[in-house]
Amino acid sequence: MSDTLLSRFLRYVQIDTQSEARSETTPSSPGQWDLLRLLESELRALGAADVQLDAFGYLTASVPATSDKDLPTIAFLAHVDTADFPGAGVKPIVHPAWDGAPIRLPDDPAQVLDPAQSPDLRAAIGKDVVTASGRTLLGADDKAGVAIVMTLVERLLAQPEFQHGPIRVCFNPDEEIGRGVEKLDLHALGADVAYTLDGEYPGEVNWETFSGDSAVVTIEGVSTHPGWAKPQGMVNALHLAAKLLAVLEAERAGPEYSEGRQGFIHATNLEGNTARAVLRIIVRDFDLDGLAAKGARLKQLCEGLQAAEPRARIHLVIKPTYRNMGEWLKRDMRPVDLALEAMRAVGLETKVIPVRGGTDGSRLTERGLPTPNLFDGAHNWHGPLEWVAVQDMELAVQACVALIQLWEQRGRDYPRMFSRR
């Protein structure tokens, strides 16, 4: 029996590939190697060229050009890792020709997919919807993208008469922990333009993302025996961290108070004790001036906390994480414009949605490889109610084929970035 888009997807989601932020290896978890090696063998079986799995878990391959035109090299990428919600023991369930009734997930009946609460589901009525069973995520973020890219490779190789330029594909680790393409060798990838398959709605093209910084506030208190805390001058580092958090909450700085193009300051982790506390924060904004203003506000708050309690030592470090890809893509919008035209070519209404987060494309674009993001059809990411419709994944494959065709027709003068003529 031949492989299908659905059978691939169901196979991939059953491999636990949850990434681990505390790990210092790349990939950060052994399960990612399991999926990458499986994908490597599948690419070889399909007849892909130049199949390489490097020491950092970047799996690349080629579909050789069939056109004799001098065309740019296009890459399609998808990440193999899943987010920080249980990803072991995934039991995917296919709901064929779903009739629109609420879907109660069997392993946790409290988990219900209901179009009354999730209006996006209404567009999936009549489609083959895939969910997990209630206690894990599904992993469609981004194994839907992985299955789409693999199916794209298969279809291109099966149709040598289809005219196109050189195509590269890449499956990468650790997107969910912000390290997805940090060690990817762009000269080895050899692409001039790229697309990630990691969006939500059919017809969606993303060319703007948040710009992101990470902040670490280290608070050194004064630890003493609590029985003699007052005369010995205890300074509780946890209390000072709580005061900082209280001000951020009073200023409604967090993501729970923002939407659209509004940015935020989000405390993600607090560890410590009386003597020392470490508070980790992410800062996000679409506008670089807005990002800088939020960083300046954090600095001001830390300086105020230090002035109010001079016996403590408070240290703030802010580091850049990624930048809005739109800062670069708007200089030449052809990768975006052709993607939007490809969506229309397969009958989809286009959706241009600024991403309230980052993608691998954010870093790739910043590093010199223009990389908008396309949809893969996955919804409700990072939790037990994640779902995807098979027909939406199929539309993504078709949109990629249409996009490749448009590049073949109009891409001859596009500047070369990392490919060799």
Write out the catalytic residue numbers.
81, 175
Please, is 160 exposed, middle or buried when counting C-beta atoms within 10 Å of its C-beta (0-12, 13-18, 19+)?
A: exposed
Neighbour tally for 207: CB within 10 Å: 26
The edge-to-edge listing of strands for the beta sheet with 49-53 is 49-53, 59-63, 167-172, 74-79, 193-199, 373-375, 204-206, 351-352
Q: Which of 64, 9, 67, 66 is nearest to 38 (CA)?
A: 9
Neighbour tally for 212: CB within 10 Å: 21
Rounded to whole angstroms, how far apart are CA atoms 161 and 66?
Answer: 7
- Are 49 and 43 in contact by the 8 Å Cβ rule? The answer is no
DSSP assignment letter at 311 = T
Rounded to whole angstroms, how far apart are CA atoms 346 and 205?
Answer: 14
β-partners of residue 220 are 276, 313
- Are 128 and 390 in contact by the 8 Å Cβ rule? The answer is yes
Q: What are the two backbone dihedrals, phi and then psi, of residue 315, each rounded to the nearest 5 degrees?
A: -130, 125
Tell how strand 129-131 and strand 204-206 pair up.
unpaired
55 CB contacts (<8 Å, ≥6 apart)? none
